[in-house]
Amino acid sequence: MNRSKSLAATSKSITAMARKRSSKTTLIFFLLLSLLAFLSFLPVFASLPSLPSYSHSHDLHFHLPRHQRLHRRQKISVRKFEIAEDKFWKDGKPFQIIGGDLHYFRVLPEYWEDRLLRAKALGLNTVQTYIPWNLHETEAGKLVFEGIADLVSFLKLCQKLGLLVMLRAGPYICAEWDLGGFPAWLLSIHPDVRLRSSDPAYLQKVEGWWGVLLPKVAPLLYGNGGPIIMVQIENEFGSCGNDKAYLSHLVKLARGHLGEDIILYTTDGGSRETLEKGTIQGDGVFAAVDFTTGDNPWPIFKLQKQFNSPGKSPPLSSEFYTGWLTHWSEKMARTDADFTAAALEKIMLQNGSVVLYMAHGGTNFGFYNGANTGADESDYKPDLTSYDYDAPITESGDVDNAKFKAIRRVMGKFSSVSLPSVPPNNKKTGYGSIQLKRTAFLFDLLDEIDPLHIVEAESPTAMEYLNQMFGFVLYVSEYVAKTGGSKLVIPKVHDRAQVFISCSPEVNGGQVSYVGTLERWSNQAINLPNVKCVSSTSLFILVENMGRVNYGPYIFDRKGILSSVYVDGSVLKRWKMISIPFHNLNEVPKFNPVIQVASKFHKVSAGKKLEHKSVGVGGPSFYTGHFSIDTKTEVTDTYISLRGWGKGIAFVNEFNIGRYWPTSGPQCNLYIPAPILRQGENVLVIFELESPNPELMVDSVDQPDFTCGPGQASVHQNEDGKASASLLTPNPLGLRTF
């Protein structure tokens, strides 16, 4: 029985008996009763926190009836975030969520506090973040929660800064992140695991992941003294399927680890169809909505009510779009600041809650960018390295812009406290031109690789089955060329394949020639020239994983050559496969034969000029340059401009800062946060796939640039002098065959 109810019943019983006694006896009993009651409540008073609200309401409090004073005292002592009367309630008071997405995995840990303080200055009281499973479990059973994956430190920092947290635990997150946050090793399991379903094999992996994750965050729930007020189940499932058993299983798992008090929520598009498929009615799960910025929000919030229990539907737009994503070859997505702010105010004017997507976008460092598809899976659209998102806080943290100011003005009208002052933009420095030199040609490295590290099979093997999740795979085979040339067809390649051929070493020293590129989105046959080899011709296909699909029906997205390879209509057999994974954001490959050999070449080249067997300057090669920051100079953010280069990836001080592709655009410059840099010498390494800047020069500049594209692409000349759209010169490049 509740202690207050027990005491009240005892008091009534004693009072009834007291009426039968004399007035003197009654007075004695009353005094004794009052003393006992007072003493019995001393521990209660002692355990209550010291709250500011007591001081300004002290007189009113003690003029209330005793049972109301007791109820109020207990209510104040409970730390609780809940839903009632179609409102959010925080510690017994109505609360309007003014939130924004800010993803810890797109910001270096050294900058977490900087970005969170800028979010507070924007007017936010809540931060929403996804948890990408693939960042934390890079290999099956190998869990990572350090560095940029230190989720707990990020959550504690939010609390330290007075920000609440809405946690999007997945297991699927979308987020324009590789495979929607799923670890790519799920694609290597036989038989195929059905993602986002009740497939027992899939659920077993989810249970293992959440069995580690959720106990880590449970102590940080709001009711346990932490900042987490809500935890999301899955993400926009109504746009994917209708497996209610799967969603209910996730709820059961979450409740088992997090308890009954935490608010679990779903997010779905604001249509009846998506809400019917994606919500979990009857399990006490709050259904939130998202919709296009500029839509009339209130009919959608009215629809939202139909998918929540009576009184349990506070209006919440859990993804209010401040901008939009951008794919390679598109113009940079931009949205008007005043239009965005006006749409936001329409929600907040009627006490609606809102979460900006994004408040701060950040960067897709490493190989973690996602991709989308259009009409079919060949209509493939990979995302930029930058995840600026045209958010009010830019990729580098800048806030001196029209969108930040417009949104802050709206937020300020509804904030219960004065907004913090706006910090200045972080300083950025252009460190000047960086001269590079070619330190290794990819094909020069192959002779140095131990055959034990080369996988052989009758047919090409997907990247995931080679236990390689990111980067590149080199596929090697042989064919007999026909007079007049041959035709190469690969029906299914993910995502981009550069094709080279070579004769044996007895013919022209085994030089290799580029013959064309196959792209997932424009896959066409390639004509293989007759190079008059004495015997068979070696075929080299370098396939790049450009990011797995993160949304839609084609999310099950393996990489590499995924079909037979045909030369003149015949299936090509007997393949050799060499993994070229490189460093990713928070992992180092266990063994990378190509990079190991490239490192050796780099050390040799530091002392003397290498004489490569290759001819010309095009083709997949490693380039290295150095730049210094004076020991008396403050280290600040910078960008490296890749204008004039073709396509590839860049590393600064062994940190993978991402992909570049200025010939496709729109991104010209890659953002380099100051924590990656150091006073003294800094090392830039580029793996260029096509053709480098003729001067082998890269510029360190102090601002972003999203104006690159096909119109800015360099034009190469064929041997006959005609302009060509080819990405490589057709000059033969040296290589010895196996």
CATH of the domain at 612: 2.60.120.260
Of the residues 319, 377, 478, 690, only one is catalytic, namely: 319
The pLDDT value given to residue 505: 65
In a domain, 30, yes or no: no
The pLDDT value given to residue 531: 80
In a domain, 674, yes or no: yes
Residue 394 and residue 467 in one domain: no
In a domain, 419, yes or no: no
Find the helix packing angle between 3-18 and 23-47, rounded to 10°: 170
Residue 156 and residue 255 in one domain: yes
Q: What angle do CA 405, 408, 414 make, to 5 degrees?
A: 155
Q: Is 236 a catalytic residue?
A: yes
Range name among 11-20, 345-354, 694-703 with the lowest pLDDT average: 11-20
- Which phi and psi (to 5°) does residue 135 adopt? -75, -30
Nearest to 129 by CA among 99, 159, 108, 156: 99
Residue 512 and residue 555 in one domain: yes
The pLDDT value given to residue 597: 57
Binned at pLDDT 50, 70 and 90, residue 28 comes out as very low
Beta bridge partners of 543: 473, 497
How many helices (H) and strands (E) would you count in the chain? 15, 38
Cα separation, 194 vs 506, in Å, equals 50
Of the residues 236, 377, 464, 478, only one is catalytic, namely: 236
Range name among 6-20, 62-76, 396-410, 648-662 with the lowest pLDDT average: 6-20
In a domain, 730, yes or no: no
Burial class (CB in 10 A: 0-12, 13-18, 19+), 641: buried
Q: Give tens-digit pLDDT for 48-96.
A: 232 233 233 333 333 344 444 344 334 445 899 999 999 999 999 999 9
3-state secondary structure of 670: strand
Residue 177 and residue 322 in one domain: yes
Domain residues for 98?
Answer: 92-367+379-414
Nearest to 88 by CA among 224, 229, 238: 229
Beta bridge partners of 723: 717
Residue 129 and residue 236 in one domain: yes
Range name among 253-257, 395-399, 595-599 with the lowest pLDDT average: 595-599
User: Which of 556, 580, 604 is where one domain is finished?
Assistant: 580
Residue 110 and residue 249 in one domain: yes
Range name among 42-46, 62-66, 468-472 with the lowest pLDDT average: 42-46
The pLDDT value given to residue 60: 33
Cα separation, 311 vs 321, in Å, equals 27
- Which phi and psi (to 5°) does residue 74 adopt? -65, -40
Beta bridge partners of 615: none
Q: Mean pLDDT across the stretch 670-679? A: 98
In this structure, what CATH number is given to the domain that contains residue 226?
3.20.20.80
Q: Which of the 8 DSSP states describes residue 51?
A: -
Count other C-beta atoms under 10 Å from residue 160's C-beta: 11
Binned at pLDDT 50, 70 and 90, residue 14 comes out as very low
In a domain, 738, yes or no: no
Residue 162 and residue 110 in one domain: yes
Q: 345-354 in b/e burial notation, b at 16+ Cβ within 10 A?
A: bebbeeebbb
The pLDDT value given to residue 506: 59
**At a CB cut-off of 8 Å and minimum separation 6, what does 342 contact?**
none
Whether the CB-CB separation of 542 and 578 falls below 8 Å is answered with no
Cα separation, 134 vs 183, in Å, equals 4
Q: Give tens-digit pLDDT for 585-622.
A: 887 665 555 555 555 555 544 444 333 344 344 789 99
Count other C-beta atoms under 10 Å from residue 632's C-beta: 6
SS (H, E, C) 288-306: EEECCCCCCHHHHHHHHHC
Residue 551 and residue 631 in one domain: no
pTM across the whole model: 0.85
Q: How many distinct structural domains can be found in the chain?
A: 3
Which region holds residue 321: left if phi is over 0, alpha if psi is between -120 and 50, else beta?
Answer: beta
**At a CB cut-off of 8 Å and minimum separation 6, what does 695 contact?**
644
Residue 598 and residue 573 in one domain: no
The two tokens of residue 544 are: 């790049």
Q: Is the pLDDT of residue 46 over 50?
A: no
In a domain, 266, yes or no: yes
Task: Tell me the CA distances in angstroms from 435 to 168, 291, 500, 693, one per residue in order.
Answer: 44, 48, 28, 11
Higher local confidence (pLDDT), 685 or 505: 685
Burial class (CB in 10 A: 0-12, 13-18, 19+), 50: exposed
In a domain, 718, yes or no: no
Q: 304-326 in b/e burial notation, b at 16+ Cβ within 10 A?
A: bbebbeeebbbbbbbbbbbbebb
Please, what is the average pLDDT of the chain?
Answer: 85
Whether the CB-CB separation of 371 and 380 falls below 8 Å is answered with yes
The pLDDT value given to residue 483: 85
Kind plus residue range of the DSSP H or E element containing 272: helix 272-278
Residue 569 and residue 663 in one domain: no
Residue 513 and residue 629 in one domain: no
Residue 669 and residue 525 in one domain: no
Beta bridge partners of 649: 659, 687
